[in-house]
Amino acid sequence: NLSDKLNAVFKKLKGRGTLTEKNIEEGLKQVRLALLEADVNYRVAKKVISDIKERALGQDVMDSLTPGQQIVKIVYDEFTTMMGDEHEALNFGGATPASIMLVGLQGSGKTTTAGKLALFLRKNGRKPYLVPVDVYRPAAIEQLQKLGSQIGVPVFPSTAQMAPVDICTEAVRSAINEGCDTLLIDTAGRLHIDEELMAELEAIKKSIKPSEILLVADAMTGQDAVNIAESFDKRLNLGGVILSKMDGDARGGAALSIKAVTGKPLKFIGVGEKTTALEPFYPDRMASRILGMGDTLSFIEKAQEAVDIKKAEELEKKLRKNQFTLEDFMDQISSVRKMGSIKELIGMLPGINKKQLAGMNIDDREFVRIEAIINSMTPQERRDHAIIKGSRKKRIAMGSGTTVQDVNKLLKSYTQAMKVVKKFNKGGLRSLKNMLPF
């Protein structure tokens, strides 16, 4: 993994007193190897290295940092720049209603991403309309219909007998009738790029003039994703790229190279199969994630979304008065759960690498157990955990289908949480993280 490799390089540089041309040279050779192994485009890697070298030997270097830190900082800046510096928002310009066309190879994640984007747009105040256009693959239309009903977003009733262009033009009318302002066009894919596919996509583009065409590419395919982006861009002039499956052990090469090779920005990344597993792409955060600095910002953003600030302040008050009950504890936990899979979240924290994560015993089912245990308590017990002794513990364990050990574990993490939470001030965000029962 790129971040492990780079960290090893940086560690070696740490011991050095000053940054000399020789140790920069040596360090960069290894950075270059790490980049190539992570499937970063060859030309891009070469350019990155020469840019980094220039910066390292130039005046960008800060005296306050150790040589290792300086290199990390320079690499971080370089990565951020090559990925585009700023987050590029979606484009809704042109015709009304706006339409976003998703294109890509089969299995790249178009349909899943259509659902994720619909949810994202709705959270941002838009009224999305899903349009299944994959009339070839069996059950492709149903897949999107199912997603739509799951997230409560209307889906155009396409049938496999309709022609793709007809579907799109009719869907525009239908979206207006439904009061929607943004169509998400889920197009068909192929195993390989072929003329027929491209011609169909061009015809759709011509008929509805989308505000934006986004390529969905599988991050796991590394350099292939970049080549695919190049080919689609040539024919369709992409507005941007979404890299799916960044949650797997994608080597990071695709994310690093796409902008540099195609000139088109990465706009979102897919980080899981759930409809909430989509993140706007921020070059600086990705750079820090690749460098193993964690992704604190994304984590905080997600947490803020899930945690009602008012509620957090209320809890804060309760804590100060020692009135933070097991019921409040459960509340806190369910707001953490709203954020998505716990592993996904923990993975964003600094200092956690994938290997550690795999070894960690994090189980979302743990939460189900906690809820069951707290639900089996009497209101009095929830308000005052001190009264929960031997026979009560047995009863609670029985009622929740758990063991006395589980009950003890829960009470322990609750009392620990209380201690930890008390130390923190406003927002309760950090406390939230510390309250996770592992």
Contacting residue, 68, 210, 239, 270, with ligand GDP by CB under 6 A: 270
Find out whether 209 and 94 touch, Cβ atoms under 8 Å: yes
Q: Cα separation of 318 and 307, whole Å?
A: 16
Select 7 or 244, whichever has its Cβ closest to Mg ion.
244
Residue 252, binding choice from ligand GDP, Mg ion, none, Cβ under 5 to 8 Å by partner class: none
Contacting residue, 109, 148, 283, 294, with ligand GDP by CB under 6 A: 109
How many residues interact with Mg ion (rule CB under 5 A)? Answer: 3
In whole angstroms, how close is the CB of 104 to ligand GDP at the nearest point? 6
Asked whether residue 286 is marked as a ligand-binding residue, the answer is no
Binding mask 176-215 for ligand GDP (x = CB under 6 A): -------------x--------------------------
Residue 128, binding choice from ligand GDP, Mg ion, none, Cβ under 5 to 8 Å by partner class: none
- Burial label for 311, CB within 10 Å (0-12, 13-18, 19+), is middle
Residue 112, binding choice from ligand GDP, Mg ion, none, Cβ under 5 to 8 Å by partner class: ligand GDP
Residue 244, binding choice from ligand GDP, Mg ion, none, Cβ under 5 to 8 Å by partner class: ligand GDP
Sign of CA pseudo-dihedral 160, 164, 166, 169: positive
Q: What is the DSSP string of 123-139?
A: HTT--EEEEE---SSTT
Query: Does residue 285 touch ligand GDP according to CB under 6 A?
Result: no
Residue 239: closest CA among 274, 201, 265: 265
Task: Tell me the backbone φ, ψ of residue 95, rounded to 5 degrees.
Answer: -65, 150
Tokens linked to 218? 């599988």
Query: Does residue 247 touch ligand GDP according to CB under 6 A?
Result: yes
In whole angstroms, how close is the CB of 232 to ligand GDP at the nearest point? 13
Asked whether residue 64 is marked as a ligand-binding residue, the answer is no
Tokens linked to 424? 């923190």
Contacting residue, 91, 106, 145, 403, with ligand GDP by CB under 6 A: 106
Query: Does residue 277 touch ligand GDP according to CB under 6 A?
Result: yes
Nearest residue to ligand GDP, using CB? 270
User: What are the angstrom distances between the C-alpha of 346 and each of 36, 248, 302, 358, 371?
Assistant: 28, 14, 12, 11, 21
Residue 83: closest CA among 267, 300, 229: 267
Binding mask 90-119 for Mg ion (x = CB under 5 A): --------------------xx--------
Q: Cα separation of 344 and 325, whole Å?
A: 28
In whole angstroms, how close is the CB of 131 to ligand GDP at the nearest point? 13
Query: Does residue 325 touch Mg ion according to CB under 5 A?
Result: no
Residue 274: closest CA among 142, 157, 119: 119
Select 90 or 220, whichever has its Cβ closest to ligand GDP.
220
Query: Does residue 399 touch ligand GDP according to CB under 6 A?
Result: no
Q: Cα separation of 117 and 113, whole Å?
A: 6
Q: Cα separation of 153 and 418, whole Å?
A: 40
Give the length of the chain: 438
- Is the link from the previous residue into 97 a cis peptide, with omega within 30 of 0? yes
In whole angstroms, how close is the CB of 246 to ligand GDP at the nearest point? 6
In whole angstroms, how close is the CB of 120 to ligand GDP at the nearest point? 13
Find out whether 14 and 66 touch, Cβ atoms under 8 Å: yes
Select 104 or 252, whichever has its Cβ closest to ligand GDP.
104
Q: Annotated binding site, which residues?
A: 104-111, 186-190, 244-247
Binding-site residue positions for GTP:
104-111, 186-190, 244-247
Residues of this chain that interact with ligand GDP (CB under 6 A) are 104, 106-112, 189, 244-245, 247-248, 270-273, 277
Which residues of this protein are in contact with Mg ion, per CB under 5 A?
A: 110-111, 140
